[in-house]
Amino acid sequence: MAPIISSSSGSSSSSSSSSAVVLSSAVAIVLSSVSGDDEGRGRRGRPPPRRWAVDDEIKIVDTIASLRTENMGHPPAAAVLLRALQAARPPLLRRGLDASALSQKVYNLKKKFIAAAATNGRKRLRNKRNKVLYKHGKKAWPEELRRAKATAAAKTRRTSCGGRRVGF
């Protein structure tokens, strides 16, 4: 039997198309398959991770600092922070933000700030993004800065010979 070559793009959906070459009655090779659902997906079928813009992170930290001064030093609740960020001009670049996602972002920013503050200035911050966030975070979380510096100072005690002991 002679090889049969055919090409088809028959599909009921307009977002999916494929073409195939049939070499014999038993073997078919798919040349291309494009689906609207697969566009922008990674190797494993997951969408690529969304990164926060630095401007959005700075705006969140600065808004926490300003709401904290208005609230007699207490950190704002996630819903209050979300309303303040939605009313801010210019608005955040991130769309579709809810209180739980914002709360998680604040938690991650605070955790990163505490880790940077725990080094007590001995360890260099690697990139500009972290340097800027640390600078702005000093105003948003001053008690965490004091606590981290006190903890770092307590961990490092000088001995009588001038050496350092860590721990204890």
- What are residue 16's DSSP bridge partners? 35
The 8 Å CB, 24+ separation contacts for 93-98 are 93/53, 93/55, 93/56, 94/50, 94/52, 94/53, 94/56
Q: Structure pTM?
A: 0.64
Q: Give residue 1's pLDDT.
A: 55
At 19, is the pLDDT very low, low, confident or very high (cuts 50, 70, 90)? low
Average pLDDT over residues 64-92: 93
**Residue 36 pLDDT greater than 80, yes or no:** no
At 57, is the pLDDT very low, low, confident or very high (cuts 50, 70, 90)? very high
Q: Which helix (H) or strand (E) holds 148?
A: helix 142-155
Residue 138 CA to residue 107 CA, distance in Å, equals 15
Q: Which of 46-60, 67-81, 121-135 has the lowest mean pLDDT?
A: 121-135
Q: Which residue has better confidence, 41 or 28? A: 41
**Residue 32 pLDDT greater than 50, yes or no:** no
